[in-house]
Amino acid sequence: MQRGLKKYFINSSAIGATAFLVILVLGLFIFPSPRGEIITVPACTQPENDCRRNGLPYQDLSLRIDDRLNDLLGRMNNAEKIGQMALVEKDSLHSPADIAKYGLGALMSGGGNKPADPSLAGWQNMIGAFQTEAARTRWAIPILYGVDANHGHGNLPGATLFPHQIGIAAANDPKLAREVARAAAEEIVASGVSWVYSPDLDIAQDMRWGRVYETFGSNPERVTRLGTAYLQGLRSINDIRPLAVTAKHFLGNGATLWGSSISRNFSIDQGNTILSEDALRTHLEPFRIAVQAGADTVMVGLNKWNGEKVVFNNHLINGTLKSELGFNGFVVSDWYGVYEKENNKYNALVKAVNAGVDMVMLPYDYEMFSRDMQKAIANGDISQERLDEAARRILKVKFVIGLFDKEPMGSDSLIIPNSGHREIARRAVRQSLVVLKDDGVLPLSKKTRRLYVAGSAADNIGRQSGGWSVEWQGFDGNGVSGTSILQGIEAALSPSTHIEYDEHGMFPESAERADIGIAVVGERPYAEGWGDNPHPELSREDLEAIARLKKRCAQVVVIIISGRPLDIARPAQAWDAVIAAWLPGSEGAGVADVLFGDFPFSGSLPVVWNLDTH
């Protein structure tokens, strides 16, 4: 499943098409559009339609940012300011020329969405072409290009897939979080991307939520500390390339209630957070520190607070975030959040912008947005001051990160796959492992004579990477560069250990019993509400594979691949050791590093995971 594909198709049968056209033409005569024309953005009149080097003061790197900003804003008309407020999913662009026509401020790839040629060069070419379109406007304001890179640049084949945030949280080491984020940022900017929707600062409360693994866990202090370090790591790339970073999802998005989702398909994601304001403030802490650490943008969540969408909440966005916390960057809405389930799209937009949303994510219809914004400014539903403030905040971020000045591309020194980054990822995997149970088996001896390996996640980089990996909902199998956990185990041991692998644990009765059995089992990949699950547990197939394996081994170690705690309290009584490996990503070898004692187990639980059966 991929985000951002065009949703509407028209049946192309001749009769259908003719009938459609007749109705459309009649409709236009009888009901001329009540909404009026959209005022478009003046084109560049310089040679070759490229206004990037027009020599105006706002292009002058030697001037102060505020002077450059004032110069540019003073030149812009309302259509241009409105254009800056639009963030369009690349697949809903009707034509690349619309970038200049509407003066769009930003484009993005939704989860799993990549260029037709998804290689590094493919990404660079796609974003480079979009920037060329943006330069066809008279002020040639560069676009921000945004992606979700929740654990590395998941939409770029060959990019390093680091452990998901929940694993980084288990490692609980801010220095490591900073290093991981920096390495991820290097791969992100190499592709021309200039905006990342990370880190996730939600404080996860309900382990049934499909987004627990995107967070740094349930402990506000740990979320704040690691979130800040991660944010600093991402931002540190700005010394060489422009990259805006995002603190999300403001506010209370990790505390929605089961059964309250506005989506028919989900249970808790996109739900309602019912809390007093005092209690909600626990969720504010990571944002407070992230603002101090220089978050460029804040994404407002898809959740409600006490029955009202946060995206419409003036008190929280204008009041708490902008005035109280002193946030100077810009506020962006999440996906279709402004419009979702709103009958009156115009009123919804007015409410969100007046509540303080500066840039609107537009997965589907940016023309409606432009038209409605122009109408709202003309009739005073949104004030000129509000429009000016939104444009100022957005352009300020563009100046601060150096989008006007720095070369956005830069793969020159970056080879993908990058061995240095993979080493960091492998270290992160090692540090993230948490021992849930050990009856004296761990670490395993490298001198083990005979070893059996089983389980659905043992030889499957897709499973161990989880959602937001190659595709929005992740993938199954070993089709990317990296190491499965089985491959790591094989590489760690000498030829004197006899290793056999069978996913289902079917080792023949006739064969000798093994000293040790390792089962690697867990959740299938999922993302967002698609992972909401009333009872996260192991599948019957996994439990059967472990039971079969156990019969053929003296001792069994179970490694759990999951985005959250699973209910394994009962079956685990029969196992000798249990390890939570979270979603380690592409470098599965990090598991063997610790399993066989080259490095100590050092991770600790970022969420409650109880193995007690009472």
User: In the bound complex, what is the minimum distance in angstroms from residue 6's beta carbon to ligand BGC?
Assistant: 16
Burial of 337 (0-12, 13-18, 19+ CB in 10 A): buried
User: In the bound complex, what is the minimum distance in angstroms from residue 336's beta carbon to ligand BGC?
Assistant: 8
In the region spanning residues 108 to 147, those forming contacts with ligand BGC, defined by CB under 6 A, are: 110-111
> How many chain residues touch ligand BGC (CB under 6 A)?
10
User: Considering beta carbons, is residue 41 or 196 the nearer one to ligand BGC?
Assistant: 196
Q: Quick one: DSSP state of residue 82?
A: H
Query: What residue has token string 């769009």?
Result: 104
Candidate list 528, 532, 542, 576, residue with the active-site label: 528
User: In the bound complex, what is the minimum distance in angstroms from residue 329's beta carbon to ligand BGC?
Assistant: 16
User: Considering beta carbons, is residue 297 or 374 the nearer one to ligand BGC?
Assistant: 297
In the region spanning residues 525 to 584, those forming contacts with ligand BGC, defined by CB under 6 A, are: 528
Q: Is 334 a catalytic residue?
A: yes
User: In the bound complex, what is the minimum distance in angstroms from residue 478's beta carbon to ligand BGC?
Assistant: 26
User: Considering beta carbons, is residue 206 or 388 the nearer one to ligand BGC?
Assistant: 206
SS3 124: helix
User: Considering beta carbons, is residue 337 or 536 the nearer one to ligand BGC?
Assistant: 337
Strand order of the β-sheet with 577-582 is 434-438, 577-582, 553-561, 514-522, 450-454, 498-501
User: In the bound complex, what is the minimum distance in angstroms from residue 3's beta carbon to ligand BGC?
Assistant: 6
| Pairing state between β 272-273 and 308-309 | unpaired
Q: Is 179 a catalytic residue?
A: no
Q: Which two tokens stand for residue 229?
A: 């370090």
Q: Is 471 in the site for ligand BGC (CB under 6 A)?
A: no
SS3 473: coil
∠ CA 251-301-295, rounded to 5° = 70
User: Considering beta carbons, is residue 297 or 533 the nearer one to ligand BGC?
Assistant: 297
3-state secondary structure 535-585: CCCCCHHHHHHHHHHHHCEEEEEEEEECCCCCCCCCHHHHCCEEEEEECCC
CA distance 593 to 604: 17
Q: Is 488 in the site for ligand BGC (CB under 6 A)?
A: no
Q: What are phi and psi of 509, to 5 degrees?
A: -60, -30
Q: Is 335 in the site for ligand BGC (CB under 6 A)?
A: yes
CA distance 88 to 359: 10
User: Considering beta carbons, is residue 189 or 247 the nearer one to ligand BGC?
Assistant: 247
Out of 133, 334, 503, 515, point to the residue binding ligand BGC (CB under 6 A): 334
> What residues contact 294, with CB distance under 8 A and at least 6 apart?
231, 232, 235
In the region spanning residues 242 to 261, those forming contacts with ligand BGC, defined by CB under 6 A, are: 248
Candidate list 334, 358, 459, 576, residue with the active-site label: 334
Q: Is 148 in the site for ligand BGC (CB under 6 A)?
A: yes
How far is Cα of residue 139 from the mean position of the Cα atoms in its chain? 31
User: In the bound complex, what is the minimum distance in angstroms from residue 152's beta carbon to ligand BGC?
Assistant: 15
Out of 197, 213, 305, 452, point to the residue binding ligand BGC (CB under 6 A): 197
Q: Is 209 in the site for ligand BGC (CB under 6 A)?
A: no
Residue type, 358: D
- Chain residues binding ligand BGC by CB under 6 A are 3, 110-111, 148, 197, 248, 302, 334-335, 528
The residues that are catalytic are 334, 528
